[in-house]
Amino acid sequence: HHQFKNISQDLGKLLDKATLAGLWAPIICLENKHKAHEYYPGLINDSPDFLQKYGITHVFTTTIYGENENFERNFPGAMNKAHLLALYHVWRTQVLLYQIHPLPSPKKGGIYEAELFTQKGNIPRYDKDASQKLAVFSPSKKSHFVIQIPTQKSYLPGKYMITYRIRTKEIYNKKDRWARLDVISAERRHLFGYKELYPSDINKDSYKNFYLKVTIPRTQKLKIRVYSTGSASFWVDWVKIEKMN
């Protein structure tokens, strides 16, 4: 499967001497030099000290058949502290990549990493120029949402600047818009603002920040989205929301 190959090669570049756990871990280590150990309660490596015994550094778990819930239930201490690195869509399931012993990182207020909000049909890929070395790659095809970010907190009424960090790969339709950036209310789907991107807006093969100003009339959570028309392939690195004075 080409997705497994791409993910496996990317993890070879992204991680340093990792040991991965999960039912798909052996497959995901075929194209790199990382170690892999399967785990499933009552069947494979069913031991309370499984993570320590094998020196697990990362968990690569599907959400099908409750595999991710098994890790959360049986290793609550490690999983509560674990850092989610990426959300993939493979076959008919979502796959979560966690780092088990994350180093403390400075809090980046208002920044949402795109690879944690991947929509179906897109894939987090290794990118040395991306902030966490991962960005969501959106292939050119039919129109689709690339990312949809439900904000973790509610935002007070006022004016906000949304910044989208995007890099284009190829534009196939030289005239029409290739993406739409927008912000809606999380509950009522009310549109607060949008920006259409055209071929004249791009810096080919280098990241560019796109800005969208919105006014929020009442305290609420938001949903920040990137939509592809299908006429270009591009990467989304992160989205940032900041209060304007």
Q: How confident is the model at residue 141 (pLDDT cuts 50, 70, 90)?
A: confident
Q: How high is the mean pLDDT of the chain?
A: 93
**The pLDDT value given to residue 200:** 85
Tell me: pLDDT of 104 over 80.
no
Q: Is the pLDDT of residue 21 over 80?
A: yes
Under a CB-based contact definition with an 8 Å cutoff, are residues 132 and 195 in contact? no
d(CA 79, CA 82): 5
CA distances from 195 to 162, 168, 183 (A): 11, 16, 10
pLDDT band at 106 (very low <50, low <70, confident <90, very high): low
Q: What is the pLDDT of residue 240?
A: 96
Residue whose entry in the numeric block shows the structure tokens 């012993």: 101
Whether the pLDDT of residue 227 is over 70: the answer is yes
Alpha helices in the chain (DSSP H): 2-14, 25-28, 50-53, 67-74, 76-81
Residue range 42-56, pLDDT digits in tens: 999 999 999 999 999
- The arithmetic mean of pLDDT across residues 211-218, rounded, is 96
Residue with tokens 């494979």: 44
Contact, 98 vs 19, CB < 8 A? no
Q: Model confidence over 22-45: pLDDT tens digits? A: 999 999 999 999 999 999 999 999
- Tell me, what's the pLDDT at 107? 62
- Give the angle subtended at the CA of 73 by the CAs of 71 and 75, to the nearest 5°: 60
pLDDT tens digits for range 172-188: 767 789 999 999 999 87
200: helix, strand or coil: helix
pTM above 0.75, yes or no: yes
Q: What pLDDT is recorded for position 35? A: 98
